[in-house]
Amino acid sequence: MAELITSGQNPKIKRLLALQQKSSARRESGLFVVEGQRELQHCIDAGFEIDSVFYCPELGGDAPSQVKRFEVTREVYGKIAMREGTEGVIAEVKAPQRRLEDLSLPERALVMVLERVEKPGNLGAVLRSADAAGADAVIVCDPLTDLWNPNLIRASIGAIFTVPCVSCSSQEAIAWLKAHGIRILTAQLQDSSLYYDTDMRCGIALVMGTEATGLTDQWRQAADAHIRIPMLGALDSLNVSVSAAILLFEAIRQRNG
């Protein structure tokens, strides 16, 4: 039977809010928050372990019987919900300890690598593109936001659960990619070839940096090829998620052409 929570001052509600707002709370507890029935279902389907569920029956929320269940009033749900239209359900989920060594890649792997991307929304959007393109993994290097940031999860529409994703240092990623024979293609304006003139039919890692500063020298020097998207207007850069989608689907075009 579910425990009924009627006050926003309840300790369980305070912990939930801390998990939403503070990366330190997520790191220390090993938990993160998933809001919305669609995202939660992707999470469950991917085999993540649900710790507890807060749900509001008035808003259509429900919870699996095998987890800790907390029924909340509409007022309390309004306090903990980060957005509207999430079907009255929010879950605390156990964060897996993912490492590069845990990734299992096919012979012609398609990997997306992001260095020091700061905005959770951008990272979430890249994950959506990676899911759509059937990418084998996303590696986030020297991250400035943690993978379980609620804004990242929301922006990914659940793709954080469908695409194998790990975080590590750039040095670790470069060594791992080279050890596995995966060609490193860095997206950069300088000393580069047009992306559609570059062979992407083998195992590749598409590497992108921040919109403001681009990639660091260690990636440029480690690259097997430098690629660029032609810019025909007055500006010299695209949003990182748009650029990622272009490059991912060029790889798909070449492989299926």
- Regarding whether 176 and 67 lie in a shared domain, the answer is no
pLDDT at 234: 82
Same domain flag for 141 and 84: no
68-72 sheet: strands from edge to edge: 3-5, 68-72, 50-55, 89-94, 31-35
Question: What CATH number does residue 161 fall under?
Answer: 3.40.1280.10
What is residue 189's predicted lDDT score, i.e. its pLDDT? 83
pLDDT < 50 stretches in the chain: none
**pLDDT for the residue 194:** 95
Q: Are residues 232 and 199 in the same domain?
A: yes
CB atoms within 10 A of CB 105: 14
Same domain? 70 vs 131: no
Q: How far, in Å, CA of 41 to CA of 39, rounded?
A: 5
Q: Please, are residues 56 and 62 in contact by the beta-carbon 8 Å criterion?
A: no
Q: Do 33 and 141 belong to one domain?
A: no
pTM: 0.91
Structural domain of 42: 3-94
Tell me what pLDDT residue 62 has: 82
pLDDT for the residue numbered 148: 95
